[in-house]
A and B are shown apart, each in its own frame.
Chain A
Amino acid sequence: MNVRPVYFTRRALEGMARGPYVALVGTATVFVALFAVGLLAGVLGGAERVLSAWAGQVRISAYLAPGTDLAAARAAVAAAAPGLEVQAVPAAAALRQLSEELGDQAHVLDGVGPGVIPDAVDVLAPGISLPGARALAAALRALPGVADVDYGNAWLEKLETLVSRARLAAVALFAALAVATAVLVGNTLRLAVFARQEEIEILKLVGATDAFVSTPFLIEGLLQGLAGGALAVGALAGLHALLVPRLQAAVGVAGALRLTDTLPPALLLGLLGGGAAVGLLGSALAVMRSLRRA
């Protein structure tokens, strides 16, 4: 077969112009499927970004045994947590801060002396992972004079579990959506090919090779997939622009979300490429089946 890209593209465009409804359904199917996949990926990416911003507020506190030298303990903690901000918190300062936080209820601390609350050394560990926090806590606990270490492990553990479950759910949903997309797009394109079964038969009648018959259909699938992918990318970017300011009002940290956090270029390119691949694959399967029948 002669390679005639202009001729075959023209035939593909003519084919879509003759059956615009089927072409629109094909494009819409790819759009809906890719939009769903992109939305899921974007929400997950945004959630991880928000969660990691929360994780940035992690404070690991090493409580000292009575009589431990606070300055020496701070130095030891600083040595164990290189590169991190370390603060010595004397018992009196902790009590004062607690009193301020309690506000009108501060009277409940009446009679509580500095000896009740131990001196502590706090480590600010922005963006630390749960395993990192665990390791640092263990290192601090081993230091002389450290009686206990608290790193908010209860909520951090829950956070980590939530994120890992969300990742698993996302992978499962991705797989399900990918299968559903392939089936939907394949069936839609099969309809398009079926609608032109007569054309295929007549082309074969006049000596067309399988490649000659199938190339315009493949180009149609590719164009519909690309169009569906581009529409999905546009819709996701629009949704991001619409939702982030509203989210920011409810969750302050959401304001830090940039387009590249929720919809990184790799994801957008992946959606375009995925659309093209799904369109191409769907039309290839449909036209192969049709050629066998012709």
Chain B
Amino acid sequence: MIELFHVTKEYPGDAPALQDVTVAVGKGEFVFLTGASGAGKSTLLKLIFCDEPATSGQLLLFGRNVAKVSPRAIPYLRRKIGVVFQDFKLLPLRTVAQNVALPLEVQGLPDREIRRKVRLLLRSVGLEHRAGKLPPSLSGGEQQRVAVARALAADPALLLADEPTGNLDPERTLEVMELLSAANARGTTVVVATHDRSLLERYKRRVVMLERGRLVSDGDSVRRMAGEVR
């Protein structure tokens, strides 16, 4: 699904954001990407999302070398990826239903099909009754559930979440994590960037740890917590 070979990402005038990272994520996996602030988690997600190119190394996504994908083809590649951000990135002047419908509109689905899918998605995140509301009138947890519903709208093969629970209280955090786990159970590959140790402890998943742009450990959370992986 995702394969990185000796990937480095540098920004002019700064220390490398990623240095010689080699890692692979298989189909159907649930992976936590962790590390302190500035470790390179978000940068790695940006590379996977084709938002930025790697400075060196190779990144294969769905078996394709991202560096060789033409700019015109990138939107089509992105349609296979759902993304969730800490700050939700919802359009404040569009209703909850319209926000969730965006990826489906982009793909040109008929209106009736879009309405049907949006209803199902909002039901799955427990927000069917909020369909006509504007995002600013929702709580943070509700907004993040809308963002998850939008990320899952186009049935993506891969779901990337960058600190998806960073702005949420523990109860809302669990709600969002349950949605991501449910998506994973349905076959979606999930990569969650987080520095929240409690999540790693609660969910026994594979953990890839970055430190100052370098991959420092890769293993399951139980072994990592026990200090076996370094």
By a beta-carbon cutoff of 8 Å, the part of chain A in contact with chain B is 1-2, 4, 7, 18, 198-199, 201-210, 212
Question: Are A2 and B103 interface neighbours, CB within 8 A?
Answer: no
B residues less than 8 Å from A209 (CB atoms):
72, 75
Bound together, the chains give a CA A212 to CA B108 distance in angstroms of 10
Judge whether A206 and B91 touch: CB under 8 Å. no
A207 close to B76 (CB less than 8 A):
yes
Q: Are B108 and A4 within 8 A (Cβ)?
A: yes
A23 to chain B, nearest CB (A): 14
Q: Does B106 contact A (CB under 8 A)?
A: yes
Given contacts A2-B108, A4-B108, A212-B106, contact A205 B78 (CB under 8 A): yes
**Could you list 11 A-B pairs, sorted by A, with CB under 8 Å?**
A198-B89, A202-B89, A206-B79, A206-B102, A206-B150, A207-B75, A207-B78, A207-B103, A209-B72, A209-B75, A210-B75
Query: Measured between alpha carbons, how far is A4 from B150 in the docked complex, in Å?
Result: 22
Residue pair A208, B108 in contact (C-beta under 8 Å): no
Whether B190 is near chain A, meaning CB under 8 Å from some CB there, is no
| Interface of chain A: mostly helix, strand, loop or mixed | helix
Q: How far is the CB of B144 from chain A (nearest CB, A)?
A: 15
Q: Kindly state whether residue B93 has any CB partner on chain A within 8 Å.
A: yes
Partner of B89 from the list A1, A205, A207 (CB cut-off 8 Å) is A205
Contacts of A198 in B (CB 8 A): 89, 91
Question: With the chains together, A4 CA to B108 CA distance in Å?
Answer: 8
A18 to B106, CA, bound (A): 20
Q: Are A202 and B91 in contact (CB under 8 A)?
A: yes
Q: In whole angstroms, how far apart are the Cα atoms of A4 and B93 in the complex? A: 23
Q: Binary interface profile of B, 87-98, with partner A (CB < 8 Å = 1, else 0)? A: 001110100000
Check: B137 CB closer than 8 A to any chain A CB: no
In the complex, whether B198 has a CB less than 8 A from a CB of chain A is no
Asked, given contacts A18-B93, A198-B91, A199-B91, whether A206 binds B108 with beta carbons under 8 Å apart, the answer is no
B70 at the interface (CB under 8 A from A): no
Would you call A205 and B83 a contact (CB within 8 A)? Answer: yes
Judge whether A203 and B108 touch: CB under 8 Å. Answer: no
- Bound: A210/B74 CA distance, A: 11
What's the nearest-Cβ distance from chain A to residue B219, in Å? 31
- List the B residue with the shortest CB-CB distance to A212: B106
Interface centre among A18, A206, A209 (most CB of B within 10 A): A206
Among candidates B72, B91, B154, residue contacting A207 with C-beta atoms closer than 8 Å: B154
A62 and B50 CA atoms in complex are apart in Å by 87
Known contacts being A2-B108, A4-B108, is A204 close to B89, with CB within 8 Å? Answer: no
The answer to whether B91 touches A208 (Cβ under 8 A) is: no
Cα distance A208–B154 in the bound complex, in angstroms? 12
User: 4 additional contacts, CB 8 Å, given A2-B108, A202-B90, A205-B78?
Assistant: A1-B108, A198-B89, A204-B75, A207-B79
Of all chain B residues, the one with the shortest Cβ separation from A205 is: B83
- Give A206 to B150 CA distance when docked, in angstroms: 9
Q: Which A residues touch B72, using CB under 8 A? A: 209
The distance from the CB of A10 to the nearest CB of chain B, in whole angstroms, is 10
The answer for the CA separation of A212 and B76 in the assembled complex, in Å, is 12
Q: What residue in chain B is nearest A206 (Cβ atoms)?
A: B103
Contacts known (A198-B91, A202-B89); A207 close to B106, Cβ less than 8 A: yes
**Distance to closest chain A CB from B156 (angstroms):** 9
Q: How far is the CA of A203 from the CA of B72 in the complex (A)?
A: 15
